[in-house]
Amino acid sequence: ENTQQSMSFQTEVKQLLHLMIHSLYSNKEIFMRELVSNASDACDKLRFQSLKDDSLMAENSDLRIRISVDKEANTIAIEDTGIGMTRDEVVQNLGTIARSGTADFLKNLTGDERKDSQLIGQFGVGFYSSFIVAKAVDVYTRKAGHAAEEGVHWHSEGEGEFTIDDAILPQRGTKIVLHLKAEESEFADDWRLKSLVKKYSDHISVPVQMLEEKFAAPEEGEEEAKPQEPTWENVNSAKALWTRSRSDVKDEEYQELYRHISHDYGDALTWSHNKVEGKLDYTSLLYIPKKAPYDLWNRERVRGLKLYVNRVFIMDDVEQFLPMYLRFVKGIVDSNDLPLNVSREILQNDSTIESIKSALVKRVLDMLEKLAKKKPEEYQEFWQEFGQVLKEGPAEDMANKEKVAGLLRFATSHSGEAKQDVALVDYIERMKEGQDKIYYVCADSHQTAKNSPHLEVFRKKGIEVLLLSDRIDEWLMSYLQEFDGKSFVDVARGGLDLGDIESEEEKQAQEKANDEHKDLIGKMKTLFAEEVADVRMTHRLVESPACIVVGDDDMGAQMRRIMEAAGQ
Ligand code: ADP
Ligand code: MG
C-alpha cells in the first residue's frame, strides 16, 4: 500500500513563504531560534500532558533537544523528545496557517517589501522560516503515546507542495532536517550553531545538546591526545531565567527571553522581575515593549501573560492577569499556589488570580513611574507608542485612577506644540496663584484646540490649558474629574468659574456689563430662541466678539459626535 500523499500548501502559506524568503535574508539565522523554540514548546506540552497521563513519558522520561550537523551532506538536524504530531496534525500545522494571528498579519501586508519586512519582524515567523536557508526540509515525527509504526514523514521544497508519508520511528518526538541551500553552507558548522543557540535560546528550560569531541590524555610513549567518541553536551544553561535571582541575569538574557515570549524582533523598553513570597507565592517577569504590535487596536487579538505553575508551562495568553488598558505588557507568571490542572474557567473565578492581578497592575504602573522619573526620554517613547491605550485606564480601573492620571502626558498651551509631553504634576507646578483647577479644551484637532476662542482669557492671564484632541480624550476626562485634589474644568463649559484668579473688580465689571446690556441680551435670546439655551455677557473673550459654549451638564461636542457616529 502506497501511503505517500502529495498536498498543496494553503494559499496563505505560499504567500508567507514567498515573503519570508525575500524579506528576511538579512536576518537568516532566526530560523534556529524558531525551530529550537518549537522543540522547546513541544517538550513543555508533553511535560504538561504527562501530569494527567504519565504513560506518555513511560518509554523515555528524558526531555531534550539535540542539534547536529552533517557537513558533507550540508544538512542540519534538530531533534526533540517532545509531544510529536499525528499525521492529521502535521497536515494541519505544517500545511496551513491555523493561527488567527497569522491570517491577521497577512491581511496587514501592504505589498511594499520594506514595510512588510518590518511587519514580519513583529511577528513570530515560525516553522516556515526554515525555508530561508533550506532548499528542502524533512520532518520526522511521532506523537507521544503512539506506536513506532505510526510515525510520519513530511517533505517539502517550499514551493507550494509538500508530501506526507508513513514512517517507522523508534523514538517519540520530532526531528527536523534542513537541506541547506549551497550558499547557506556556513550554517552547517557546529561552532556557528552553538553560538546561535547561546544567543537565541539560552533561556530555554529544556537542555539543548550538541556533540562535543573529546580527547583522551596521551598515554605513556604517545605524542598526541587520542580522539574519543563525541558526547552530547548541554549548550544552554537550561534553567528558567525567572527562577534565578535578578543580579545573576544579564540584560541580554532578559531581552532574549522577551523576544521568545513576545515574538518581537526588537528589544523590550524595560522590565520588572519579582519574586513574591508570603500569603501568595509567585514570580512575575513583566516587560514593556519598545514598539506597539501592528494589531494593538484589534480587541480580539490574543494578549496576556504566560502562566507557569512550579516552572511547568501551563498556558499562553492568560488575559486574567492584567486589565485591557495594560494589554501591551508581555511576560510570565509562575505561581506556586495554583493547581497544575488549572483551566481558563478556573482562572476566571479565582480569588488568587484577582490578588495577583492587582499586584501585577501595581507593578506595571510602578515600573512606568520609575521609567518616567529616571528616563524621561524613554518614557516619551513609551507614551508615543502606548499612551492612547493607557488613556483607557481611568475608565477601566477606578482603583488606580490617580496613579494612571499621573502617567498621562498632554499637549498644552504652555508650549503650544502638538507633542504630548506635559505631566499633570508639571502643570500643577506652573499653576498661577489662586488657581485651583486644571483647565482643558477638547477639539477635533490640535490646531483647532490651540486656536479655540475659549483660550483667550487664559492666554491673557497666563494660565496653562491642556489641549486635548485625541478621540478618546473627552471620554477620558469624563472619568478623570480630579487629580491631586484639583478638579478638571472644561473651558468650553457655560458657567466657567475662574475662582480666585479673577479679581473682585473683574467680577463686578462683569455683573455691571450684564446689567447695562440687559436689553441687547434679551433681544438676542428671542432672536436665537431655537438655537441656544442662554445668552450671556462674558469676560472670556479678548479678540473674538462671541463664542458658543456647552451647558455645564451637557455632553461635550466631541462626545456628541462620537455618539452620533454610533447612531445614538
Ligand atoms: P507557532 O510555534 O507559533 O505555533 P510555528 O510555525 O512555529 O508556529 O509552528 C506551527 C505548529 O507546528 C506549532 O504550533 C506546533 O503545533 C507544530 N510544531 C512545530 N514544530 C514542532 C515540534 N518540534 N514538535 C511538535 N509540534 C511542532
Ligand atoms: Mg513556533
Got the DSSP string for 282-314?
EEEEEEEESS--TTTT-TTS---EEEEETTEEE
**What pLDDT does 508 receive?**
78
* 276 assigned to a ligand binding site: no
Q: What are phi and psi of 172, to 5 degrees?
A: -65, 155
| Nearest listed ligand to the Cα of residue 102 | 1
* 459 assigned to a ligand binding site: no
Q: Which atom of ligand 1 is nearest to the CA of 99?
A: 4
Q: In testing the pocket of ligand 1, which one of 9, 37, 40, 41 has its CB within 8 Å of the most ligand atoms?
A: 41
Packing angle, helices 504-516 and 518-527, rounded to 10: 60
**What pLDDT does 103 receive?**
65
**What pLDDT does 553 receive?**
64
Pull the grid cell for residue 427. Answer: 502643570
Instruction: Say how many C-beta atoms besides its own lie within 10 A of residue 132's C-beta.
Output: 24
Residue closest via CA to ligand 1's atom 7 equals 126
Q: Which atom of ligand 1 is nearest to the CA of 39?
A: 23
Residues in the chain: 568
33 CA distance to ligand 1 middle (Å):
12
| Nearest listed ligand to the Cα of residue 99 | 1
**What pLDDT does 389 receive?**
95
**What pLDDT does 382 receive?**
97
357 CA distance to ligand 1 middle (Å):
30
**What pLDDT does 476 receive?**
95
Pull the grid cell for residue 47. Answer: 511535560
43 lines ligand 1 (CB under 6 A): no
44 lines ligand 1 (CB under 6 A): no
* 236 assigned to a ligand binding site: no
Pairing assessment for the beta strands 305-309 and 312-318 based on DSSP bridges: antiparallel
127 lines ligand 1 (CB under 6 A): yes
* 34 assigned to a ligand binding site: yes
Residues, beta carbon < 5 Å, ion ligand 2: 38, 126
**What pLDDT does 494 receive?**
61
**The 312-318 sheet, strands edge to edge:** 268-276, 282-289, 330-335, 305-309, 312-318
Residue closest via CA to ligand 1's atom 23 equals 39
Residue closest via CA to ligand 1's atom 5 equals 126
Half-sphere exposure of 158 (CA within 13 A, CB side): 22
Give average pLDDT by consecutive 10-residue segment, the chain, 568 residues: 83 82 76 90 91 88 96 98 96 78 66 64 73 96 96 94 96 98 96 90 88 82 81 88 92 90 87 93 96 82 84 84 95 88 81 92 98 97 96 96 98 94 96 92 93 88 94 93 94 69 72 78 79 71 67 65 63
The model's pTM is: 0.73
79 lines ligand 1 (CB under 6 A): no
CA-based Rg of the chain, rounded to a whole angstrom?
31
**What pLDDT does 493 receive?**
76
Distance CA 256, CA 251 (A): 9
81 lines ligand 1 (CB under 6 A): no
127 CA distance to ligand 1 middle (Å):
6
126 lines ligand 1 (CB under 6 A): yes
38 CA distance to ligand 1 middle (Å):
5
139 CA distance to ligand 2 middle (Å):
15
**Helix H segments across 284-397?**
344-348, 351-374, 376-390, 393-396
* 100 assigned to a ligand binding site: yes
**What pLDDT does 456 receive?**
86
The single residue listed with the C-alpha cell 522543540 is 39
Distance CA 192, CA 112 (A): 33
83 lines ligand 1 (CB under 6 A): yes
| Nearest listed ligand to the Cα of residue 94 | 1
Work out the angle at residue 390's Cα, subtended by the Cα atoms of residues 384 and 392, and round it to the nearest 5 degrees. 130
| Nearest listed ligand to the Cα of residue 123 | 1
Residue closest via CA to ligand 1's atom 12 equals 93
Q: What are phi and psi of 147, to 5 degrees?
A: -80, 160
130 lines ligand 1 (CB under 6 A): no
Q: What are phi and psi of 34, to 5 degrees?
A: -65, -45
ipTM over 0.90: yes
Work out the widest C-alpha separation in the chain, in whole angstroms: 124
**What pLDDT does 500 receive?**
61
Q: Which atom of ligand 1 is nearest to the CA of 38?
A: 20
**What pLDDT does 520 receive?**
79
**What pLDDT does 118 receive?**
60
Please report, as a single letter, which amino acid is at residue 506.
E
Q: In testing the pocket of ligand 1, which one of 32, 33, 34, 38 has its CB within 8 Å of the most ligand atoms?
A: 38
201 lines ligand 1 (CB under 6 A): no
Work out the angle at residue 390's Cα, subtended by the Cα atoms of residues 388 and 393, and round it to the nearest 5 degrees. 125
82 lines ligand 1 (CB under 6 A): yes
93 CA distance to ligand 2 middle (Å):
10
Please report, as a single letter, which amino acid is at residue 228.
Q
| Nearest listed ligand to the Cα of residue 129 | 1
**What pLDDT does 505 receive?**
75
